[in-house]
Chain A
Amino acid sequence: MCGIIVLIYIKEYIMEINVRKIAELAALEIDKDNFSDFEAQFKDIINMVSELPEYGKFDVFPEPMKLREDVIENNNISQNDLLSNAHEIVNNYFTAPKTVEYL
């Protein structure tokens, strides 16, 4: 069987990619000195991966999985070991700077 597949490339898209906004979303800081180099390189990569055919159905379902019984499991790891890699523990709590009161 021979189908004619029409590939629609997104390269024609002229889009404004807001690198700063993406960095915010990713909680990363791009060094101010390297910013323009980074931005150029980033857009190059995006250009490269932009060559993709249109997609058909996205409803991709993985294989069915086996579910776990609702039974308590003892993992034999002490609380101390679980907390031991933290930078700072206060009364068995992990710590972070003060959060703004929003959810």
Chain B
Amino acid sequence: MAKLESVIGLEIHAELKTATKIFCGCKNSFGEAPNSQICPVCMGLPGTLPRLNSKVCDFAVKMGLALNCKINNISRMDRKNYFYPDLPKAYQISQSDVPICGNGSLDILVKDQIRKIGITRIHIEEDAGKLIHDDEYSGTLCDFNRCGVPLIEIVTAPDIKSSDEARIFLESIRSILRYIGISDCKMQEGSIRCDVNVSVHEKGTPLGTRCELKNVNSFSAAVRGIEYEIIRQTELIEKNLSVERETRRWDDKKGISILMRNKENARDYRFFPEPDLGAIVISEEKVNSLRAEIPELPNKKVIRYVYEYGLNYSEAFLIADNHDKAELFEKCIEKGECSPKSAANRIVGEITKYMNDTGKSISETMLTPKELSKLCVAAENGTISSSAAKTVLAELIINGGNTDKIIEKLGLAQNSDDNYLCRLADDVISANQKSVDDFKNGKSNAFGHLIGQAMKISKGKADPKKIKDIILKKLKMEE
């Protein structure tokens, strides 16, 4: 049997970080005391009516522009009807027929290949409340603070071909959401969620039946879920059984998916246009002004960093993912003085460590792109050793200042002068004949001793790499 290809589509829900909820003026914030952030509208009291928050539309359009989507100048809201205790009106106001954004795409870098993933649509909708199961109470506790929090739903075309691609795609979406400032994507707060659709088929044949996985609570869970589904469906097909159209629940602890709903008890949402709301009109001027607010996006940066600057994917992603780091990196290498690799190493290394340890952002440190560039240059041309560079960097981060002055003040300039180093090597060799003999007799640590002596005499200023090479050459020549 021919090898089966997997076909994956994703539905990503992200909470938007507007000040207020989508249909009422309640504060949009996480972690408040139960039912303290509600009003008659979001708790579904009879007689109440929704009012759409303009910022939600702006944010959705921005995401659409970031994903190269067609922006629908006229769209409308629809009701999605079903019963569940976290849904106070027993319908969710969402968008069915005419979403705010249509077709688009996102380029991601997968194993050095640029893959274009199609976006089918982006629409806006309201979030439901939270159901809590408490040990002391035998039923379900309902908290409606989250009811009415604005969501965008991003639906991809079934273009994703592996779990790895899915992970990269999800990380890119998250990057973009943060970059354009519309969501903070804290998975642990539930502000970004994902449903996964998986099917398998033989290449060249029609697409297989897809299954939907829900309750996928992290990107790594998405990877595990996809891999499990591929195996499950493949096994069915190999046994000549058919894959049924199902909605399944992913249990990450057990590593399995469980049937939730099949075709027979599939929900009938009875969509119809929301009669309490009018049409959403977005003018071309509005679209253009929102477009102007979008910076170069992280996924594009990643591709650029890898192809133009020779960074590897993970370095590129780490830098591009954070707007501050990307800015620092780009400004630093702007003049072409220091090498991108060198700047990247330091950003990904010490600077990120400092940020993680102290919780500070780059703008809260004293480091400037100009000084970082100078530091990289000094390390590259041997003016200072790499360990000295670490010291200088720490100083620049905490206290700022001028790289050259710091090197001078701390006396860190190392000596890379060939003549000086040759004389030093000669001195060390003649003063340590025993070590030389030991080395010639096969004792390799004797070599280390010679280097140590050279560093001691030069008070640590000798360029360690160069002195090593020179001493070694001289020892070999003596033979």
Contacts and interface: CB of A to CB of B under 8 A. Distances in A.
Q: Do chains A and B touch in the complex (CB under 8 A)?
A: yes
A69 B132 contact: no
B341 interface: no
Given A65-B277, A72-B20, A82 B141 contact: no
Contact of B279 (A61, A74, A92, A96): A61
Contact of A103 (B98, B139, B214, B280): B214
A58 B273 CA distance: 11
A98 B277 CA distance: 34
A97 B261 CA distance: 21
B141 A90 contact: yes
Interface string A60-103: 11111111111111110101001100000011111111110111
Contacts of B139: 95-98
B304 interface: no
A62 B273 contact: yes
Contacts of B35: 79, 82-83, 92-94
Contacts of B331: none
Given A68-B53, A95-B142, A82 B27 contact: no
A70 B422 CA distance: 71
Interface string B270-313: 10010101111100000000000000000000000000000000
Given A70-B19, A73-B24, A77-B39, A103 B215 contact: yes
A68 B51 CA distance: 6
A2 interface: no
Given A62-B279, A83-B35, A92-B34, A102 B260 contact: yes
B-side interface size class: 35 or more
Interface in B1-36: 18-20, 24-27, 33-36
Interface in B113-144: 131-133, 137-144
A65 to B, nearest CB: 3
Contact of A71 (B20, B52, B83): B20
A92 B273 CA distance: 34
Contacts of A97: 139-140
Contact of B137 (A65, A77, A79, A90): A90
A67 B52 contact: yes
Contact of A63 (B54, B55, B133, B279): B279
A4 interface: no
A25 B270 CA distance: 10
A14 interface: no
B238 interface: no
Contacts of A66: 278
Contacts of A65: 52, 277-280
B19 A98 contact: no
A75 B43 CA distance: 13
Nearest to B39: A75
A65 B23 CA distance: 13
B154 to A, nearest CB: 18
A72 B140 contact: no
Contacts of A69: 53-54
B364 interface: no
Nearest to B27: A72
Nearest to B128: A103
Contacts of B450: none
A64 B36 contact: no
B40 interface: yes
Contacts of B43: 82
A59 B75 CA distance: 10
Contact of B20 (A73, A90, A101): A73
A62 B277 CA distance: 8
Interface string B242-271: 000000010000000000110000001010
Contacts of A6: none
Nearest to A91: B34
A69 to B, nearest CB: 6
7 contacts: A59-B97, A66-B278, A68-B51, A75-B25, A91-B141, A103-B249, A103-B260
The 3 closest A-B pairs by CB, nearest first: A73-B25, A65-B278, A67-B54
